[in-house]
Structure 1
Amino acid sequence: MYKTPIIFLTYKRPEETKKILEIFLEIKPKKLYIFQDGQKSDFNKNEKNNHKQTSKIIQNFSKIKAKKFFFSKNIGQKYIGFKILNKVFKYEEKAIILEDDCIPEFGFFRFCDLMLKKYHSRKNIAHISGCNLYYGTSIRKITKGDYLFSKYPHFMGWATWKDRWKKYYDPNIKDWPSKKKYFLNNCKLREGEKRYFSYYLDKIYDGKQIAWDTQWLYYNILNNLKTIVPTVNLIKNIGFYSSPTGKGAKKFRNLATRNIIFPIKENNTEKICIKYDEYLYKSFYNRPNLVIRIFKKIKIILKPLIFFYRT
């Protein structure tokens, strides 16, 4: 039985919710918190039906004890993480977080549990990830050992501590105008990262972009916090195929997974894995300059015409 509290956030994926609840029956967590966000006002008939089915599955889930919370109104992506973690952290000091589109290997829970215990007093470490995108796409480790350190937190199955979350996170990034210059010039960001964060954080601050995870990424980098990442991938994201609510790169839609072998090898250096962060930088955080973005758009526009004339 796992003593670390687990937070399960679901929405309108009945089949995926069933699968994850079955996993909980296997691991038997001592404390399980289940949250379902409310329906949106513009839901179509199929979405309403999926939401209701998901609610019934949760309501009928009684083989292990769980605290269940159903929001009558839609909280939405920007505030749902803030809302549920703050609620759980009224009672808990740490938590493992899993969404309904993330199917974990069984070792994910033990890995998070061990890392939460080992690094609880290391305040410069704020996030534990279950997802390794490099392994998931290449099916090989990027470095020796069982886990590495990154400056980039991942959100497909993760864990954190109450003190870090409460100290740093703000979904509205109210400090962005006053910290923007420092962040862009003093946090060892590369030019592509500066363009990426300036673009997306400006949009989030102005209310033109709905997100919750980019804010946590910003605060981790701003405060020089580290993320623990297993060297194998413990999470398969299936949300791209069923009722997707977010966006993601195509190459990360069918990640390979492999369970982690215990006991795990210790990594006492706490040094950032440069190779892994370089991979993530090239995959996500290197926003091209304006000239390259225009060139890419022109290529997309011209591609059908070129195909037409060739045929």
Structure 2
Amino acid sequence: MRDSKGQPFMPEHDPDPATPSGYAGKPCPPVLMILFNRPHLAEQVFERVRQARPARLYLAVDGARDSRPTDAELTARCRELATKVDWPCELKTRFSEVNQGCGRGPSNAITWFFSQEEAGIILEDDCLPEPSFFPFCAEMLASYADDARVMHINGNNFAPAGARAIYGGDSFGFGRYAQAWGWASWARAWQHFDYDVKGVHDEPASTFATAGVEKVRHEAHRDRVVSTIKHHHHDVWDYQWQFAVMKQRGLCISTAVNQISNLGFGDDATHTTDSSSFVARARTAALSFPLVYPAKVEESPAINRLYADHMLGEVGRYRKKAFKRWLRNLFGIKKAAK
């Protein structure tokens, strides 16, 4: 793996075997933290990053909203994390003076990050990583650096029961769904990101086709992406990234054990408001090294189904919708406007 100047990536400190960065002798890759107004969560994520001791850390904090008087103090507290870097580290900050929102803000920060790094880890303020996530990403980013088929490394895997049956004893596998709750990628992949997703409305459902997942859910995924981007364009960036990965027929690495716990479910969240959700604060587990690699770099139908079940829902509901749509088309019945 090489840095933004084309030089081999090497740590600026000797890995300490007692810290996460010492797993299997793998230095922590560059890390981007994307923050806003939840310092109580950001501090927990920062502590995990501090333990991993990346040689380069990027802190992006969005600006306060004029309509929320408390934002000024909260964003200031997030900025103060820059003063708590107490290990050998090149620190770069991007503190916005205006509020960009939870669409443009994160996507601009990621573009800033990948304009200076060839590869790295991205953590938002509510995505608490398992310590072994850092060396796992280090190995994956190095192992698949030159494989354009692989575009994304998932940290969250929905903590499935019976993971051995899904992953077959491997440490990770490949699917087609990009999850943004703690992830890693390469600048070569992010170059395909388009915030405005030109042409998405004309994209066929076949773009969203994945092995092992029913056609009705391919159509549902397309409809969800198009609808979300149409109605919530200012609030999202991960849907655009999912589309970019699907459009390129990219593969996403998924770990056999959950590596990210989302702390952000609750009333102060923008999207993850249901604190009773089974994925809220999901348990994590450490990966064992050396990693067991899959025999082939190809998408797994079982991993695709796992992600589709949680991201898109059960197939039955979409079959009912498809049947109702077929009946309306057959009899020329227009769907009532809401």
TM-score (norm 2): 0.77
Distance 1:134 1:193, change over 3 A: farther
Return closer, same or farther for 1:120/1:51 CA change in 2, 3 Å cut-off: same
1:227-253, Cα deviation, whole Å (9 max, x unpaired): 001100011110114731323771211
Q: Deviations over 1:127-155 (max 9, x none)?
A: 011111143xx374432210011100111
- What corresponds to 2:198 in structure 1? 174
Whole-Å Cα distance in 2 between the matches of residues 244 and 258 of structure 1? Answer: 25
Shift of the alpha carbon at 1:267?
A: 1.5
Alpha-carbon distance in 2 for matches of 1:53, 1:265: 41
User: What do residues 51-98 of structure 1 show as CA deviations (whole Å, max 9, x unaligned)?
Assistant: 332233x24324133212211111112222321122122221111111
Q: Which residue does 2:258 correspond to in 1?
A: 233
- Normalized per residue, the structure richer in helix is 1
Look up the match of 2:237: 212
Identify the residue that residue 172 of structure 2 maps to in structure 1: 147
Contact in 2 for aligned 1:172/1:205 (Cα 8 Å) = no
The whole-number CA distance in structure 2 between the counterparts of 1:112 and 1:272 is: 19
Q: Counterpart in 2 of 1:17?
A: 42
Q: Secondary structure at the match of 2:147?
A: coil
Residue of structure 2 in register with 1:303 after alignment: none
SS at match of 2:180: coil
Distance 1:96 1:59 in 2: 18
- 1:254 aligns to 2:299 (yes or no): no
TM-score by length of 1: 0.83
Q: How many corresponding residue pairs?
A: 286
More displaced, 25-34 or 75-84?
Answer: 75-84
Kindly indicate whether the alpha-carbon contact (under 8 Å) linking 1:176 and 1:205 is maintained by their aligned counterparts in 2. Answer: no
* One-letter amino acid of the structure 1 residue matched with residue 286 of structure 2: N
> Which structure 2 segments of 5+ residues have no match?
1-14, 16-26, 325-338
Amino acid across the alignment from 2:196: N
- What is the aligned-residue identity percentage? 22
**Aligned twin of 1:60:** 83
In 1, Cα distance between the equivalents of 2:82 and 2:77? 10
Counterpart Cα distance in 2 of 1:242 and 1:177: 32
* Corresponding residue to 1:275 among 302, 314, 317: 302
User: Deviations along 1:183-226, whole A, 9 cap, x unmatched?
Assistant: x1455362133133224314414666621111111121222110
1:163 aligns with 2:206: no
Tell me if 1:76 matches 2:101. yes
1:131 aligned residue: 156
Aligned to 2:130: 105
Match of 1:29 in 2: 54
Deviation of 1:289 (Å): 4.4
**Distance in 1 between residues matched to 2:217 and 2:302, nearest whole Å:** 17
1:188 maps to what in 2? 209
- Displacement of 1:34: 0.7
Which piece of structure 1 moves more, 212-221 or 119-128? Answer: 212-221
**CA–CA distance in structure 1, aligned partners of residues 76 and 128 of structure 2:** 21
Measured on the aligned residues, the alpha-carbon RMSD in Å equals 2.5
| C-alpha distance in 2 between matches for 1:232 and 1:185 | 30
Q: Which amino acid aligns with 2:84?
A: F
Within 1, Cα distance between the matches of 2:100 and 2:77?
Answer: 19
On the 8 A contact 2:159/2:282 being kept in 1, the answer is no
Provide closer, same or farther for how the CA distance between residues 88 and 208 of structure 1 changes in structure 2, counting only shifts above 3 A. Answer: closer
Match for residue 30 of structure 2? 5
Secondary structure in 2 matching 1:51: helix
